[in-house]
Amino acid sequence: MKPGEKYLSGEIDNGLNGRKRVVVFSNKNKEKESHPDFKVFVDPNPESEDSSLKEVGVLWQNEKKQDNSDGGDVVDSFM
């Protein structure tokens, strides 16, 4: 991660496995449109001072355009 790079963070509740810290970064290595837009990482041991993130998944962002009455487009972005 570079200084100033934007990311999403939070936590998930894995039930019996407890809460895990989650961080989502944009995919800086995206070369094709079919490649994922985001990479998801989990800290498997959030209580430890030695934080090591493990990549656990990817996300794609879909855009749907809708016509607007004034001739412009409205873009709904969702994941």
pLDDT digits (tens, 9 = 90+) for 12-57: 887 887 888 888 988 888 898 888 888 888 887 767 777 677 778 7
pLDDT in the model for residue 78: 45
Distance in angstroms (rounded) separating the CA atoms of residues 41 and 27:
12
- For the whole prediction, is pTM greater than 0.85? no
Q: Is residue 2 part of a domain?
A: no
Q: Is residue 20 part of a domain?
A: yes
25 or 67: which carries more pLDDT confidence?
A: 25
Q: Is residue 1 part of a domain?
A: no
Structural domain count, the chain: 1
Q: Is residue 41 part of a domain?
A: yes
pLDDT in the model for residue 65: 53
pLDDT in the model for residue 72: 55
Q: Is residue 58 part of a domain?
A: yes
Q: What is the domain range of residue 67?
A: 7-78
Contact 35, 27 (CB under 8 A): yes
**Most distant CA pair in the chain: distance in Å?**
55
